[in-house]
A and B are shown apart, each in its own frame.
Chain A
């Protein structure tokens, strides 16, 4: 996981007053599908857009560890526990790749962490929902990682080199996340009546938040056109959402579960599944901090940061004592 189009927030990027020369050359490079690298000239608005998007994405990976981490101690089997630990560790790794990519744009790691802990930064609204049962771990892998994959695959071709490279690495790791989630759902759906009901309940609660992960409808999305011109974004929110719906509905049918949308229907004319209206007021409420777990998530991150302070201090003191060099035994080769 997890990127989300949060593009109703932040200022509209101001197209450059930086001079037509470099700006035109920059756009020509983008149009020719060249990659932009950290030391290359870039418009300030491009840099700021990327810092915002990449750091929101990084924060989402980090906060995304919390809902699933909640079930590590209670995973039903040793196999499930090992898998869940590996998945949650991957999400931490994704956060690390993305923070590194954001830092190439001239923002420091400490600043980014500070923005998360102070509550100034946004992260994907999906992680402000609670994981009430084991089936939620299955639903997250299947739906939330599934939606994230849909969002992230096009970013592998993003014009900014470090972001694109981080995304290639992340996408390689995501497919196991989705498959293990689907496997949990399949096991429950084919299990006892109570297990089947638990799977259905999880789908009921995670379906609409997953659909909203793609961000506001195209008409309400402010940054799409500029991000498309810069090749940061390749498809609109609604296009990606539709792709997700089209692949996911048959999977739910295979599971024998019902998508919680009475208006859902196959549209013969467009060859797409048509969903009912989305309750955007819920999306904006969660994004503004009024979701079920917003406060709990930030408190968990702050507590982890505070609890680790003495470790960081000790490591820094040790490094200072040894001049930052590795003690013997770790030479290159």
Chain B
């Protein structure tokens, strides 16, 4: 991808985010990213880069440009409202010790 002639660096291949299912029964988890010319190459590269030690049984790749993410600046607006709703957790409720199986 470099240009030994010293000109401006050429454009990169698209960036893909890689998700790996480590074994059946578990969800795919984000492990990193890589560049590839197309989706099939992204899967092949993901195999070489992220599963050299049987880290996975399944690979997803997604074009990074296709991911829509929340803005860190909105974190308060998005997540703050849940803070004072502790009654959504079972520990909020006081139950006498002698009551069992609850």
Contacts and interface: CB of A to CB of B under 8 A. Distances in A.
A113 interface: yes
A180 interface: no
B11 interface: yes
A218 interface: no
A116 interface: yes
B71 interface: yes
A114 B3 contact: yes
A103 B64 CA distance: 12
User: What secondary structure prevails in chain A residues at the interface with B?
Assistant: helix
B76 interface: no
Contacts of B38: 315, 318-319, 322, 324-326
A330 B12 CA distance: 23
B72 A113 contact: no
Contacts of B34: 96, 100
A146 B10 CA distance: 37
A132 to B, nearest CB: 29
Contacts of B4: 117, 302, 305-306
A21 interface: no
B72 A114 contact: no
Interface residues of B, number: 32
A250 B30 CA distance: 41
A142 interface: no
B39 A325 contact: yes
A316 B9 contact: no
B6 A118 contact: yes
Interface residues of A, number: 41
Nearest to B7: A114
Interface stretch (B41-49, B80-88, B90-98): B41-49
B89 to A, nearest CB: 23
Nearest to B8: A114
A166 interface: yes
A96 B15 CA distance: 12
Nearest to A329: B40
A183 interface: no
Contacts of B48: 89, 93
A316 B40 contact: no
A173 B11 CA distance: 31
**Residue among B2, B12, B13 having the largest count of chain A Cβ atoms under 10 Å:** B2
Nearest to A303: B4
Given A103-B15, A114-B9, A324-B14, A305 B72 contact: no
A111 interface: yes
A79 interface: no
12 contacts: A39-B69, A109-B35, A113-B2, A114-B2, A117-B2, A169-B32, A312-B13, A312-B37, A315-B13, A319-B37, A326-B40, A330-B43
Interface of B: 1-4, 6, 9-15, 32-35, 37-41, 43, 48-49, 52-53, 58, 60, 63, 69, 71-72
Interface of A: 37, 39-41, 86, 89-90, 93, 96-97, 100, 103, 108-111, 113-114, 116-118, 165-166, 169, 173, 302, 305-306, 312, 315-316, 318-319, 322, 324-327, 330, 332-333
